[in-house]
């Protein structure tokens, strides 16, 4: 059912994925996180059904694209870090 413009104005805006990531990373600027850690912190991603997997793919894509934009604009920095098994890309506030 449609609402009036006045009712709409009383609502809140949704944060962009970029702003959510930036806020998360700024909360502890002395730490860096992998993409999957960022996803886990921002979303409750559970993989119980095929629908969950499809939703998780969308979330992963959105976060990946947001990180690319934040890297391009210099808000976020990334580094490849060698771990005990392989390497991971970590992101921190720029």
Helix residue spans in 33-88 (DSSP H): 35-42, 50-73
94: pLDDT strictly greater than 70: yes
Rounded to whole angstroms, how far apart are CA atoms 91 and 80? 9
Question: Helix %, strand %, coil % for the chain, to 5?
Answer: 50, 15, 30
Q: Is the pLDDT of residue 1 over 90?
A: no
Taking CA atoms, 42 is separated from 8, 10, 38, 45, in Å, by 26, 25, 6, 9
CATH for 16-93 is 1.10.10.10
- Annotated domain spans of the chain: 16-93
Least confident of 50-54, 63-67, 80-84: 50-54
Confidence of residue 8 (pLDDT cuts 50, 70, 90): confident
Phi/psi of residue 15, nearest 5 degrees: -70, 150
Share of the chain above pLDDT 90, in %: 53
């Amino acid at each position: 059912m449609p609402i009036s413009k006045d009712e709409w104005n009383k609502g809140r805006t949704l944060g962009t994925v970029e702003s959510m990531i930036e806020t998360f990373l700024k909360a502890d600027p002395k730490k860096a996180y992998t993409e999957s850690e960022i996803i886990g912190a921002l979303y409750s991603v559970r993989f119980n059904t095929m629908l969950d997997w499809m939703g998780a793919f969308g979330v992963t894509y959105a976060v990946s694209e947001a990180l690319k934009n934040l890297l391009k604009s210099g808000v976020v920095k990334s580094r490849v870090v060698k771990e005990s098994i392989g390497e991971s890309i970590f992101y921190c506030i720029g």
